[in-house]
Structure 1
Amino acid sequence: MKTMKRKHLSTKRAVRSSGSSTRSASTRLNRPRVRAAAVGKKRMVSTIAQGPDYLAGAADGKAWRSDPAFQPGPEAVRIAIRERWSLRFRETKRNNETNWALVRRRGLNYAAGFMQGSGARAAVTPVPLNGKAAAIVFAGMKEEPLRQVLDQLQALPLDDVVIVASNPAERLFALARGFGNVTLVSVPEPLDADVGRALGAKLTGADTILFLDGEQAVSADQLAGFIWACQWEMDIALNDISAQMGLFRKRGGNERLFEFLNVSLQRGDLKINTLSALPYAVSRRAIESLGIGALAVPIKAHAQAILNGLRIGIGGAVGGHRQRRGTRSDWRRAAGDHAEAWREAFDVRGNRLDFADWTRNRSLLGDWEP
């Protein structure tokens, strides 16, 4: 009985469908057009995937594969893509091509074509370089967080990865040896993280230096934006944490100091973003302007960078790096660092930091100084 009922319902639906008089001729005529539109969309997607960067990558990958010196392996693939993509980007870059999202898409298309043409695969995040890039990491005592950080860095086009650790365990040395371009620097005594990163920066001559937290991994895709910014646009690429600000009354004391420092130096557009929030990247020009030692006190280096007229902007927005409220001693230290930054600013711009005094006519005093 159940079977018969199903057949009856099916037949009934078929009759309704075929015998309906409400279907208009225009509806039937529109059906081929919908199909044509769908086919056109598929062709458009296929064209994007097979665009000039993809095709160039496929040709380069095929040529690399046929080279007598060809050596397979993920690291060899990454190096080959890095060198050839940087060269192609320089040759095809338009003057106004500064949008990282578009550049990133081009790089991914090229890498996909290269791996298709070569038949080799690797985890790679293509960034067109105009020089060398390096990463500086201050490591904690735990092995697994550092491994996660290095796994992400491995996909980036880095010449050097310098890890600075305070009296590290032997297992950290074993971990570092598993990555080809990693140097582990062991400091026997306890070391402040900012000082450790500044020390690591002395050991590389790269044109762009990326500074990272060794206990919090950030995806290679996010880090790539910082490298791009300092290679082609900026001297300092900051981490944008302004989305985490919230109401002023709910902010921590450090965040209020960060914002006040930027406003007082006439860079209110930076909001609470400073060199105190990892990750960030700096150019060789910034290093030469500030000096390596300045990076040991990031907030003071930030103020100096503004005073020196360096190009400072946003390299990306990495969440989870909100400044902790910390202890009273942490707050006092942060306040002291900011005091140093303002003292530096007063020496350069005067006691009013170039803000005009609209209520007092000091010119009546002539050359008198208080």
Structure 2
Amino acid sequence: MSRSKTVKRRKNISVSHAKQIVLPALTKSVSAVVSVSNEEKTIAGVLGELERLPLQDIIIVMNGCTDDSFQMARKQSRAAIVHYPERIGHDVGRAIGSRMTNSDIVLFIDGDIVISAAHLIPFIEAANQGVDIALNDISPFVPPFSRQDDVTRLKYFLNRVLGRDDLQYNSLTAVPHALSRRAIHTIGVNHLLVPPKAHALAILKGLTVRAVHTVDVISNNRVRTENTGPESDVARLIIGDHIEAIKAAMDHSGTRLHLSRYSRAELAKWRNSL
């Protein structure tokens, strides 16, 4: 299906000294990709924080916006704007945005949560120091196992079968996160369309993946009809994405993956400790 789009480019974004925050010297270029869907109330604040960072590009991918998000973004910033009249989803938007910059580091955020520049810096710093995928550590906000939904349990299970228990509930399904250019090339832009699969491929291909900073995007997540409840469209989509990721891991490492043969009692003891 063809999609019309409007693009307004902005390169080499300048940052005013009045707004710029202090960053350690960066040796790599950085851009930000913002996925937006009807965020007229928050987009100005999101862009205001990004403008405080020394970014080469800010790329806004608007999908299915029916409010004044486009006008607000144009008024607030001279960022590059890609406008898709139809809903393409945040994951597709991030993949599109990653193609529009050649920066060494790409920071990904969404337009519905205003995250201060100070909380975005750790992701940039980690990638600048050699981390290929710098993840948001949301584990502190996850409830005990008995109160977790299926999506949350799948996130942990995926990391476990990949041999990365240390990552707990963290993956590319949560923003903010930053990817190195090497990670984007190694994973492949097309695989960014399925964040759990991209996460699995990054680990399987030996990229450096770490949870580097904690930003509460759980309690601040905007509630929408399609992302509420275990039977929501978003929940079903993410569950399917994780199944695809596990299949990719099995194809790479065999059906047992990193799982050992535990007795039912041992599995129950592990589960109840969470």
TM-score (norm 1): 0.61
Deviation of 1:253 after TM superposition, in Å, equals 1.2
Q: Does 1:351 align with 2:264?
A: no
Decide which of 226, 229, 236 is 1:326's aligned counterpart.
229
SS of alignment partner, residue 314 of structure 1: strand
Decide which of 162, 168, 192 is 1:265's aligned counterpart.
162
Pick the structure with more helix per residue: 1
1:125–1:155 contact (8 Å) kept in structure 2: no
Q: Where does residue 102 of structure 1 map in the other structure?
A: none
Question: Which amino acid in the other structure matches residue 279 of structure 1?
Answer: P
Question: How many residues align structurally?
Answer: 243
Deviation of 1:244 after TM superposition, in Å, equals 1.0
Decide which of 218, 221, 234 is 2:118's aligned counterpart.
221
| Larger RCO, structures 1/2 (Cα 8 Å, 6+ apart) | 2
Task: Summarize the alignment of residues 27-46 of structure 1 with structure 2, pairs less than 5 Å apart.
Answer: none
In structure 2, list runs of 5 or more residues that go unmatched.
1-13, 222-226, 264-274
Decide which of 34, 48, 61 is 1:164's aligned counterpart.
61
Q: Does 1:254 align with 2:158?
A: no
Q: Where does residue 271 of structure 2 map in the other structure?
A: none
Deviation of 1:122 after TM superposition, in Å, equals 3.3
Deviation of 1:177 after TM superposition, in Å, equals 3.4
Change (3 A) 1:176 1:320: closer
> Which shifted more, 162-171 or 224-233?
162-171
Deviation of 1:250 after TM superposition, in Å, equals 0.9
Decide which of 59, 64, 72 is 1:175's aligned counterpart.
72
Structure 2 CA distance for aligned equivalents of residues 180 and 330 of structure 1: 30
Structure 1 CA distance for aligned equivalents of residues 44 and 193 of structure 2: 25
Change (3 A) 1:259 1:358: closer
Deviation of 1:180 after TM superposition, in Å, equals 5.5
Change (3 A) 1:141 1:127: farther
Structure 1 CA distance for aligned equivalents of residues 110 and 77 of structure 2: 20
Decide which of 27, 37, 41 is 1:144's aligned counterpart.
41
Q: Deviations over 1:299-357 (max 9, x none)?
A: 11111111111100123100133686634144332222111111111111011115466
State the percentage of identical aligned residues: 37
Task: Summarize the alignment of residues 126-141 of structure 1 with structure 2, pairs less than 5 Å apart.
Answer: 126-141=23-38
Q: Deviations over 1:201-242 (max 9, x none)?
A: 111111100110101110100001101111113000000011
Structure 1 CA distance for aligned equivalents of residues 71 and 239 of structure 2: 39
Structure 2 CA distance for aligned equivalents of residues 175 and 330 of structure 1: 26
Question: Which amino acid in the other structure matches residue 349 of structure 1?
Answer: S
Q: Which has the larger radius of gyration?
A: 1
In structure 1, list runs of 5 or more residues that go unmatched.
1-74, 79-120, 360-370
Structure 1 CA distance for aligned equivalents of residues 99 and 16 of structure 2: 29
Pick the structure with more strand per residue: 2
Q: Does 1:303 align with 2:196?
A: no
SS of alignment partner, residue 81 of structure 2: strand
SS of alignment partner, residue 42 of structure 2: helix
SS of alignment partner, residue 158 of structure 1: coil
Deviation of 1:144 after TM superposition, in Å, equals 2.7
SS of alignment partner, residue 41 of structure 2: helix
Structure 2 CA distance for aligned equivalents of residues 279 and 185 of structure 1: 20
Deviation of 1:251 after TM superposition, in Å, equals 1.2
